[in-house]
Amino acid sequence: MKNKKPDFSHLSPNQPIGIFDSGAGGLTVAKEIKRLLPNEDFIYFGDTKHLPYGEKSKEAIVGYSTQIADFLLSKNCKAIVIACNSATANALKEVQDWVAGHVPVIDVINPVAEKVAYEIHNNVGVIATKATVNSGLYKKSIRKHNKFIKVDELATPLLVPAIEEGFKNHPITHAIVYNYLSNSKLKNIETLILGCTHYPLLIDEIKQYYGNRVRVIDSPNIVVNQLQMILDKHHLLRENNSKPTYRFYLSDKTKNFEKISKKFFGKAVEVEMKLL
Ligand code: DGL
């Protein structure tokens, strides 16, 4: 039986975009949405109560992700961006099935894997959480498009807690970054994918480690280009909006989230609590 083409004609361009992550990592994607799609409103959900997703089972991640999808739909979102690699790797299909074609679902792994596979990359390294690395989705997804690429994935679980604690350009993050990137698995890579949406917050330190030797992929940019393409295809891009609104919900309040969101989105960012 042929797959039915999705029909999103019940949606309107004026509805907000829904974005979620376990915490502050997805803000790297939200920030790129603000930059590339400045007319769009968005609603961001950070599941800080259950962070880190990278240490959770598939079943737990599926449970949290589908509940968040429900919440974003209840807020009238026109698309859901899973701005979390661990949730993409473990719950993409389940979230898609859950929303049952009601809104488009955009993930952070497939668009990046496809882009890397079609450009000239031979030895690709991926650093990510345990939940993402254990799923093997980056390797599968890249090799689906280009089976000649060598992909080495390394779990780097100390990065998310350090970032959520607000460390950046600090001896702690320098030591963690140095320790992981010098792992022999990543010895011959030419390209590095930051397979966790938190990691761009340490991009300076990561680039500093490599100098010009390794190309570090800008995943938020690739993901938002994909989002733009999908919204455009379904006539859901908002054309003008003099005062875009950004709303943030957390399942538990954290100081660092407010700090990063204020830095990214200026002024006072209002964070509301939504228990999950
Ligand atoms: N930002 C996330 C990711 O991309 C989640 C990290 C975590 O909660 O462990 O995987």
Q: What is the pLDDT of residues 30-79, one digit of tens each?
A: 999 999 999 999 999 999 999 999 999 999 999 999 999 999 999 999 99
- pLDDT value for 259: 83
Indicate which atom in ligand 1 lies nearest the CA of residue 52: 8
Domain boundaries, the chain: 17-107+221-273, 110-219
Taking 50 as the pLDDT cut, the residues of the chain under it are: 1
Domain at 110-219: CATH architecture? 3-Layer(aba) Sandwich (3.40)
Helix segments in the chain, DSSP class H: 27-36, 58-74, 85-99, 110-118, 130-135, 137-145, 159-164, 171-181, 203-210, 219-233, 255-265
Q: Give pTM, 2 decimals.
A: 0.95
Residue whose CB lies within 8 A of the most ligand 1 atoms, among 64, 86, 133, for a mutation test: 86
Distance CA 147, CA 180 (A): 26
- pLDDT value for 120: 76
Q: In angstroms, what is the span from residue 199 Cα to ligand 1's centroid?
A: 9
- Which is nearest to 107 in space by CA: 121, 90, 126, 124? 90
Q: How confident is the model over 198-225, as pLDDT tens digits?
A: 999 999 999 999 998 999 999 999 999 9
Asked whether 52 lines ligand 1 (CB < 6 A), one says yes
Catalytic residue among 43, 62, 69, 84: 84
Taking CA atoms only, the protein residue closest to ligand 1 atom 8 is: 52
Q: In angstroms, what is the span from residue 257 Cα to ligand 1's centroid?
A: 14
- pLDDT value for 146: 94
Catalytic residue among 37, 51, 95, 196: 196
Residue 146 CA: distances (Å) to CA of 4, 66, 118, 215, 225: 27, 31, 7, 19, 21
Residue 46 CA: distances (Å) to CA of 4, 72, 157, 249: 32, 12, 19, 6
Domain at 17-107+221-273: CATH architecture? 3-Layer(aba) Sandwich (3.40)
Active site residue 84: yes
* Tokens linked to 162: 């350090």
Instruction: Give the DSSP H/E element, type plus range, for residue 249.
Output: strand 246-250
- pLDDT value for 268: 60
* Tokens linked to 160: 């998310």
Taking CA atoms only, the protein residue closest to ligand 1 atom 2 is: 84
